[in-house]
């Protein structure tokens, strides 16, 4: 049943909701127009990224950090850290038209699936804040709310966890 529900959820989790017309790029000048709407809807669309952990530190790319679901796979040799990219890279990965006044948020789930070790989410720089519990035990999914507070700061707020 779990596998069936997973397939249904994956079917409805489209990585792109609206396709930008070829050759057009959303920018801050058209922030309130159709291009901004398309860009922001796509920034909020859930995606999935798979990361193979290695050693005791796994550095995420910006695309992985803003994916809707991040699945950690085997490879860690002990308790490990999951290091976020720089705040500037995270904001850039969300697109140029997202609001930077604290009103844009996105759910990010990190699934520690069969790693066998506990991971700890850590900030990539001083402009990223992680509030609440940042550890992800093995066979657990932890949910964070990624909020763009300003044009130079973001917050990952722990919303809770679920056992697999």
pLDDT in tens, 25-67: 656 555 556 666 666 676 666 788 888 888 888 899 999 999 8
- Cβ-based neighbour number of residue 61 at 10 Å: 14
Residues ≥6 apart with Cβ < 8 Å to 143: 107, 108, 109, 158, 159, 160, 161, 162
For residue 157, what are the CA distances in angstroms to 24, 56, 121, 143, 154?
A: 34, 23, 11, 8, 10
Q: Is the pLDDT of residue 118 over 70?
A: yes
Closest CA to 57 of 133, 139, 114, 124: 124
Q: Is the pLDDT of residue 140 over 90?
A: yes
Percent of the chain topping pLDDT 90:
49
Q: Is the pLDDT of residue 156 over 90?
A: yes
| Rounded CA separation 11/46 (Å) | 11
Residue 154: the pLDDT is 97
Domain spans of the chain?
47-163
Residue 87: the pLDDT is 97
Residue 9 burial (CB < 10 Å; 0-12/13-18/19+)?
exposed
The two structure tokens encoding residue 53: 């952990």
Contact (CB, 8 A) for 71 and 132: no
Q: Is the pLDDT of residue 83 over 80?
A: yes
Residue 144: the pLDDT is 96
Contact (CB, 8 A) for 43 and 95: yes
pLDDT in tens, 123-132: 999 999 999 9
| Rounded CA separation 81/61 (Å) | 14
pTM above 0.85, yes or no: no
Residues ≥6 apart with Cβ < 8 Å to 21: none
Mean pLDDT estimate for the chain: 83
Q: Is the pLDDT of residue 68 over 70?
A: yes
């Amino acid at each position: 049943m779990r596998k069936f529900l997973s397939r249904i959820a994956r079917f409805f989790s489209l990585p792109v909701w609206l396709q930008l017309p070829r050759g057009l790029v959303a920018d801050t000048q058209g922030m309130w127009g159709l291009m901004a709407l398309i860009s922001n809807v796509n920034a909020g669309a859930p995606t999935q990224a798979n990361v193979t952990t290695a050693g005791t530190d796994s550095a995420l790319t910006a695309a992985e950090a803003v994916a809707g679901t991040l699945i950690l796979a085997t490879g860690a040799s002990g308790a490990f850290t999951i290091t976020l990219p720089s705040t500037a890279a995270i904001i850039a990965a969300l697109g140029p038209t997202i609001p930077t006044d604290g009103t844009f948020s996105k759910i990010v789930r990190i699934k520690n699936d069969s790693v066998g070790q506990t991971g700890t989410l850590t900030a990539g720089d001083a402009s990223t804040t992680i509030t609440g519990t940042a550890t992800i035990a093995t066979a657990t999914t932890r949910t964070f709310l990624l909020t763009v507070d300003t044009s130079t700061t973001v917050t990952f707020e722990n919303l809770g966890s679920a056992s697999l």
